[in-house]
Structure 1
Amino acid sequence: MIENTPSVRQLRLVVEAEDYEEALAFFRDALGLPEQAAFSGEGDARVVILDAGRATLEIANPAQKRLIDDVEVGRQVAPKIRVAFEVDDAPAATARLLEAGGEEVAPPTVTPWRSLNARLNAPAGLHITLFQELEPLEQRTTRDGFGTNPEDRPGDAGQSV
């Protein structure tokens, strides 16, 4: 039986950056992720842990991944892993990150799920989405195709939301 108590306390995405300073300038300074800790070791070994707020793990099937690429970019571009950051102002954050060396893949675009999403290629080989929610979660979940996984809801397994 699965307990209701979560056993995971933190999601930490570890990324190797060939140009460490460029990655710091982009993610810490331009995107604004606060530095939580930093460590150094022998042979110029360095790591910084940046606080990215609340973490979630979004699992999409191949059809959903294609749909997201089509909506946000107009073509298939994302690798299997894409990192998404929720921001307060997607156009302003996009502009800051472009100035900091990001490469625009697609400008901020309103999605059917009511967010404003931009795509960029970032340092350390990351493909990222910046997203700004345009409606509260409570309002978005009332739309067709939104809500919880139908198989997880008692009494209506298999029905679409």
Structure 2
Amino acid sequence: MTHDNLPGRPSGPVRQLRLVVEAEDYDEALRFYRDAVGLPERAAFEGDGDARVAILDAGVATLEIANPAQKRMIDRVEADGTPSARIRVAFEVDDSAGTTAALVEAGAELVAAPRETPWRSLNARLHAPAGLEVTLFQELETPEARQERPGFTAP
């Protein structure tokens, strides 16, 4: 059986997106993302010289490309204009307010409390372990409803 024919694997030229993050405090980052955020551990490996990596399952992965004007607009809407990092990780959650509170309790620093955006999601921004800037978002309408509004398109 070839890699292309493995059951449950998406077809196409790219099958998975992995964001690889160096964490000075590996144990803190693992505790935060695996235990507090709730990303299940898919695999973990150890090597010589205390080399360690954990691969955490974050569900569906997308790559969001935004131009500078869009980034500034998101910063204005999501965090009162506080500039975001060039790369920001966004997690879709079922309860943005509850998850934000839990992650602040687990060690994240609140940048912006949950707020409704013009694209009808409830977004919060955090500084999290391993130097990541994180947006939590809770969708407040279906993609089909969003597509009916001006400014939104889908292929």
Cross-structure match for 1:65: 71
Cross-structure match for 2:136: 130
Cross-structure match for 1:158: none
Q: Give matches, 1:113-128, under 5 Å.
A: 113-128=119-134
- Residues in 1 aligned to 2:45 and 2:97: alpha-carbon distance in whole angstroms: 33
Q: Is 1:145 the counterpart of 2:136 in the alignment? A: no
Cross-structure match for 2:95: 89
3-state DSSP of counterpart to 2:100: helix
Cross-structure match for 2:23: 17
What is the CA-CA distance between 1:79 and the residue it aligns to?
Answer: 1.2
TM-score of the pair, normalised by structure 1? 0.88
Q: Is 1:50 the counterpart of 2:50 in the alignment? A: no
- Residues in 2 aligned to 1:95 and 1:31: alpha-carbon distance in whole angstroms: 11
3-state DSSP of counterpart to 1:48: strand
Gaps of 5+ in 2: 1-10
- Residues in 2 aligned to 1:109 and 1:80: alpha-carbon distance in whole angstroms: 21
- Residues in 1 aligned to 2:32 and 2:76: alpha-carbon distance in whole angstroms: 26
Gaps of 5+ in 1: 154-161
Q: Is 1:37 the counterpart of 2:69 in the alignment? A: no
Query: How many percent identity over aligned positions?
Result: 69
